[in-house]
Amino acid sequence: MSLEIKVPPVGESISEVTLSKWIKKDGEYVEMDEVIAELESDKATFELTAEAAGTLKTIASEGDTLEIGAVVCSIEAGAGGAKPEADAANETIEESSAPSAPSSGGTESLEIKVPAVGESITEVTLSRWLKNEGDHVEMDEQIAELESDKATFELTAEAAGTLRQIAKEGDTLEIGAAVCKIEKGSAGSSPKSAEASPAQPPAQSVSDRSSSYAAGTPSPSAAKILAEKGVEPSSVSGTGVGGRITKEDAQKAEAGKQKTESTKPAGAKPEVKSAPAAPAQAGNRQERREKLSALRKTVARRLVSVKNETAMLTTFNEVDMKPVMDLRAKYKDKFKEKHGVGLGFMSFFTKAVCEALREFPAVNARIDNEEVVYSDFADVSIAVSAPKGLVVPVIRNAESMSLAEIEKAVLALATKARDNKLSIEEMTGGTFTITNGGVFGSMMSTPIINAPQSAILGMHNIVERPVALNGEVVIRPMMYVALSYDHRIIDGRESVSFLVRVKQLLEDPARLLLGV
């Protein structure tokens, strides 16, 4: 009897899949519910299982695009789906030669699944395994990194035992999908490497630490620091568990390198390099490819969507920053002494924006289907360049905050962004965005709206330029500012007036205190 295996429904919006890989070959015997192939859609990868035991007859080929319900293969049940005699004989031999199971019972397996990480997140990418296949892990130990379109999360072991990986690095997994299994039959026993032979000399057990899977492997934060310093992990000795390179090891790496160089004997000959670095790179035409991260793909998709779906325009103006700079120079020391945080430009711009939003509520609104949603509060999003891409954390109710409170909020969010510790809640929402390209030296730009918001303010670098003031040419620190807005909801009069109001408040900071 032959049973056809068809492409199952895998989602409401998915109409076709690609047969990416055959796990079982044509003519092989398969058990019921055994994984026989991998199917891939534009959103995730799925496993195709056998619906009966028997001999597999493949119909589709790897790389074929199949519609939902299309026939992938058939299974010949044969004599009641019995396992071939050769296989049964081999299994009998294996069973007889296998060591007897412990008296305490068989190995218990715990499946670790993708946890729910936010209301709007339906899938994540397994960016990196922190533990290897077969490693012993402790309960609550970090075993993998999961990356969504908004943030990076750490997956921890829910029990102690041996790790059995199911998903691979780069796989896209839906919420609730199985990532790995923890075999906890040994009930938290030590790793296999600890089961050394009694005849083995003690020196060998000491070297186990350097040969451990973790030896020379940096933690996520340490890897970031080493990459920024340009230091190879192999040149750093780890002090963490199993020889893992910790954040402290990475921070000391550069200093240790310089100290080693400075303590060389005066008469020692310098190291002779085989070839200068520059000539070695001359004529190098190699290319390398890296898979786009989930965050980068989402940013790209949303930016293109905004360009295509909004009537985006940009209006420009310039701000004389001397009044703000004079105010900062006069009070920055007292400000930091009292509030414990520096006085920067972002707090002045945020405060000025909040005042202007009260006068021009359309700039703080958004379009929802056929309705305009006006917000009586100002949740200001601050664009921050994080190690894995641009993130936009939100300062809630910025209109009711003081300059010191805004500075503290900006510092806290920026620190979390650099350490990849921003939560979904901290990046969700926002009614208006401020981005500062000036920190990178940008003179002028046209920022793209952060959907579903309707406007974004772009700050730029401050340059001393000659300007006409009261009939005289004077040198002033000037900044170009840009407001990109959705013309469907914000008229030209409102956008220009809004930017002029921000300019007035910054050029006369006393207005921020008096509300005039």
Residues with catalytic function: 487, 491
* Identity of the amino acid at 272: V
**Sheet hosting strand 54-58, strand order edge to edge:** 2-6, 71-76, 54-58, 29-30
H, E, C per residue of 307-346:
HHHCCEEEEEEEEECHHHHHHHHHHHHHHHHHHCCCCCHH
Residue 161: beta bridge partners?
137
In order of 12, 266, 267, the CA distances from 260 in angstroms are: 61, 13, 15
**Structural contact between residues 94 and 82, judged by C-beta atoms closer than 8 angstroms:** no
- Around Cβ 447, how many Cβ atoms within 10 Å? 21
Nearest to 456 by CA among 353, 371, 359: 353
The H or E element spanning position 305 is helix 294-309
Report H helices in 315-421. Answer: 322-339, 345-359, 403-418
Is the bond preceding residue 323 a cis peptide, omega within 30 degrees?
no
Q: Tokens for 232, please give them.
A: 């190879």
* Identity of the amino acid at 491: D
Residue pointed to by tokens 């390099």: 273
3-state secondary structure of 19: strand
Nearest to 2 by CA among 58, 84, 73, 75: 75
DSSP state of 447: P
Q: Are strands 432-436 and 455-459 parallel, antiparallel or unpaired?
A: parallel
